[in-house]
């Protein structure tokens, strides 16, 4: 990552202390630039640390074509960022911090101790040794008339003069950790093209659950099921029933397509296979076996092992006619219609879609409207599912913005 130093020492201000901002800081400091980083929170990397609770999934080991496909309509732009800093390069960079990694059974990559804090500590030590100055509790408020940055700190507002600036302000989810989207109007008033922020990797609501289902099964996981959304490949995994709808990894994997269908049609209907290992004819044959005086609920349990939250959801989403007819009930078990009507609020989402459009940036991630101002991380208009894809693109975009700022500084007159 070492770059030739500019002929004179420039200064760059970085706004935002998440992975993208910290990576930009490393690239710039390594390139001989004086770097000051400002973050509104009491400490940097707060969302990064919370994402690591339960296991720090840093990237993914799947083949590059499949990996890039996770970024959907923005895969070409993300591919350019990952061209020389992909998942393997990211792992090597982590190893350079003294942190080992391993690939889990799902292909997800984790630090050997599964924790984010040791990685962040080692990284911050490297940055401080490189001369990066980190200012916390320092909120960016935009620009003064002379082009200086307005920074609100504990001692009041100050004007920061810098030769260039990297914005890495995050998206609009988890505002309590700093990603509050407050930067949107500051860029919009400067004419920067921005796509509206929307929830990504989020839960969704149904019209309403019955009181029985909500009170007894909210929080219960549905394991080993398949969700099928028209136009996408069926996905197998698990999700969780909530008081208002559904959430969890299987839902997050389809969240972009679900959200888009809701935007276009007002709702999104998925089909849930409660028994993906049993073909339809076998399910129907089991249901047609005599049940005597047993209830259908007991028959489902004895013949198919369907009980608990799966049986409750089946009963919730079928009519009395369907529930009483073996053929209709078998079809429902294999393709239970689940209609979702809205995503949960943006601030609850794991990440956000939308942000600064790539069309507003040049290839070095500099804003066309604001020369010398670069953008990186989740504030850019892209999205990806959980599984390490979010962090990988944040790291890569921060690196690209740092390199872009270095190149731009070297091109300035008198350098």
> Sign (positive/negative) of CA torsion 248, 354, 359, 415?
negative
Max alpha carbon distance in the chain (Å)?
92
Q: Strand order of the sheet with strand 268-273?
A: 336-340, 268-273, 221-228, 235-241, 245-247, 204-205, 342-343
Q: What is the predicted pLDDT for the residue at 273?
A: 97
- Cβ atoms within 10 Å, residue 207: 11
Q: What is the predicted pLDDT for the residue at 71?
A: 95
Cα(308)–Cα(193) distance, integer angstroms: 49
Backbone angles phi, psi at 270, to 5 degrees: -105, 160
The Cα-based distances of 161 to 143, 145, 150, 287, 325 in angstroms read 10, 12, 9, 74, 74
Q: What is the predicted pLDDT for the residue at 371?
A: 96
The alpha carbon of residue 185 and the mean position of all alpha carbons in its chain are separated, in whole angstroms, by 22
DSSP 137: S
The Cα-based distances of 306 to 38, 80, 292, 301, 312 in angstroms read 54, 47, 18, 5, 9
| β-sheet bridge partners, residue 247 | 240
Q: What is the predicted pLDDT for the residue at 415?
A: 66
Query: What is the three-state SS of 20-69?
Result: HHHHHHHHHHHCCCEEEEECCCCCCCHHHHHHCCCCCCCEECCCHHHHHH
Cα(262)–Cα(292) distance, integer angstroms: 44
Q: What is the predicted pLDDT for the residue at 32?
A: 94
Residues of the chain falling short of pLDDT 70: 1-8, 414-415
Question: To which H or E segment does residue 78 belong?
Answer: helix 75-82
> Sign (positive/negative) of CA torsion 258, 262, 265, 268?
positive
Nearest to 373 by CA among 10, 9, 15: 15
Q: What is the predicted pLDDT for the residue at 231?
A: 83
Q: What is the predicted pLDDT for the residue at 6?
A: 44
293-311 pLDDT, tens digit per residue, is 888 888 898 899 999 999 9
């Amino acid at each position: 990552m070492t770059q030739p130093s500019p002929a004179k020492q420039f200064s760059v201000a970085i706004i935002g202390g998440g992975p993208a901002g910290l990576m930009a800081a490393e690239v710039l400091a390594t390139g001989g630039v004086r770097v000051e980083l400002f973050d509104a929170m009491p400490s940097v990397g707060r969302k990064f640390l919370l994402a690591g609770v339960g296991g720090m999934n840093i990237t993914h080991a799947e083949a590059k074509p499949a990996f890039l496909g996770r970024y959907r309509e923005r895969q070409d732009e993300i591919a350019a960022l990952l061209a020389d800093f992909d998942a393997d390069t990211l792992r090597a960079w982590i190893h350079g911090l003294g942190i080992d990694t391993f690939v889990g059974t799902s292909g997800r990559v984790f630090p050997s101790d599964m924790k984010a804090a040791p990685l962040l500590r080692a990284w911050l030590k490297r940055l401080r040794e490189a001369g990066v100055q980190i200012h916390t509790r320092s909120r960016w408020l935009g620009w003064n008339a002379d082009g200086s940055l307005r920074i609100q700190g504990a001692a009041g507002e100050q004007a920061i003069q810098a030769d260039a600036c990297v914005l890495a302000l995050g998206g609009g989810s988890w505002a309590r950790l700093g990603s509050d989207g407050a930067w949107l109007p500051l860029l919009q008033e400067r004419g920067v093209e921005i796509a509206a922020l929307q929830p990504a990797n989020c839960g969704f609501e149904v019209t309403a659950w019955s009181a029985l289902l909500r009170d007894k099964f909210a929080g219960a996981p549905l394991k080993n099921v398949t969700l099928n959304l028209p136009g996408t490949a069926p996905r197998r995994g698990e999700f969780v029933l909530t008081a208002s709808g559904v959430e969890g990894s299987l839902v997050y994997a389809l969240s972009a397509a679900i959200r888009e269908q809701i935007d276009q049609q007002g709702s999104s209907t998925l089909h849930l296979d409660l028994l993906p290992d049993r073909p339809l004819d076998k399910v129907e044959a089991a249901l047609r076996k005599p049940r005597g005086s047993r209830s259908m609920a007991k028959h489902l349990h004895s013949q198919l092992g369907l009980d608990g939250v799966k049986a409750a959801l089946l009963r919730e989403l079928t009519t009395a006619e369907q529930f009483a007819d073996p053929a209709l009930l078998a079809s429902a078990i294999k393709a239970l219609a689940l209609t979702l009507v809205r995503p949960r609020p943006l601030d609850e989402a794991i990440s956000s879609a939308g942000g600064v459009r790539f069309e507003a940036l040049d290839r070095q991630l500099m804003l066309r409207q604001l020369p010398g101002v670069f953008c990186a991380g989740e504030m850019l208009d892209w999205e990806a599912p959980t599984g390490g894809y979010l962090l990988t693109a944040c790291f890569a975009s921060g690196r690209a913005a740092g390199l872009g700022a270095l190149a731009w500084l070297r091109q300035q007159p008198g350098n």
